[in-house]
Amino acid sequence: MTLFPEMCETVMSESIIGRARKAGKVEIVVTNIRDFAGNKHNKVDDMPYGGGMGMIMAADPIYNCYKSLYKEGEPKPHLVYMSPKGKTFNQQKAVELSKFDRVVLLCGHYEGIDERVIEEIVDEEISIGDFVLTGGELPALTVADAVCRMLPGVLSDDLCFEEESHFSGFLEYPQYTRPALWQGKEVPEVLLSGNHAKIAEWRRIQSVLITAERRPDLFDPESLTKADKKMFQTNGIPIPDGEKMS
């Protein structure tokens, strides 16, 4: 639900998500809130009560737009309002949203939307970070991309996302491709060994180390398994303690 449908259609029609839409793996409908303005000028905003800068999106166009998305007797779609006041979006939330049959993303604009429509139809508010943008379209596109790629058949294999940063609670390990020597820098020897057990071990250790170094706020030493600790000991690498590493 947006005031800028062309912007959303352009992004959601490209690359992996665009191909998934064409293949019928996911259905994405972009709906223009202005179509439900109910006036000849398609005006959807008004001045805020109590004064203040900017304009506020009115309740009726948003409410009527949302009600048009499902028929009487159908289950109510899960409605997410993209808002700086919402809970911060993460990979776990992407997985959670991917379990719903239908998710509606509401893109605000101007100085926000009438609080009453939030109270009436919004199920949750989500933010993509502690900053403010000119509208909710970029956050909504971010959420849509992250959620859609979790759906069956969108990626070639579940392993495409199961080993990525944040999915397992750790950041992703370093990746390399040909050539084996570039600008004097060599690919780690273990990745050329063909020993899949050693490669998996190296990748796990790297994921743990990178997470502890770059995102100590995400790293919990208690989450390391006995197998993890044994890998570190076998390779003579100190086990991170969760403090910021130099």
State the residue for tokens 């905003």: 45
What is the residue-averaged pLDDT of the chain?
93
pLDDT of residue 168: 64
Within a domain: 101: yes
pLDDT tens, position by position, 72-107: 999 999 999 999 999 999 999 999 999 999 999 999
Within a domain: 154: no
pLDDT of residue 106: 98
Q: Are residues 10 and 111 in the same domain?
A: yes
Tell which of 113, 148, 183 closes a domain: 148
Cα angle, residue 214 at apex, residues 137 and 245 outer, rounded to 5°: 160
Tell which of 148, 178, 194 closes a domain: 148
pLDDT of residue 69: 97
Strands 78-88 and 103-107: parallel
Q: How many CA atoms lie within 13 A of 196 on its CB side?
A: 0
Q: Are residues 121 and 185 in the same domain?
A: no
pLDDT of residue 245: 44
Write the CATH number for 120: 3.40.1280.10
Task: Tell me the CA end-to-end span of the chain in Å, nearest whole number.
Answer: 45
This prediction's pTM: 0.86
Within a domain: 155: no
Q: Are residues 15 and 98 in the same domain?
A: yes
Q: Are residues 167 and 53 in the same domain?
A: no
Cβ(88)–Cβ(48) below 8 Å: no
Within a domain: 168: yes
pLDDT of residue 158: 63
Q: Are residues 133 and 210 in the same domain?
A: no
Q: Are residues 85 and 109 in the same domain?
A: yes
pLDDT of residue 246: 41
Q: Which residues of the chain have pLDDT under 70?
A: 157-168, 242-246
Which of 9, 39, 19 lies closest to 107 in space, CA to CA? 9
pLDDT of residue 226: 94
Write the CATH number for 230: 1.10.1270.20
Within a domain: 153: no
pLDDT of residue 14: 97
How many structural domains are present in the chain? 2
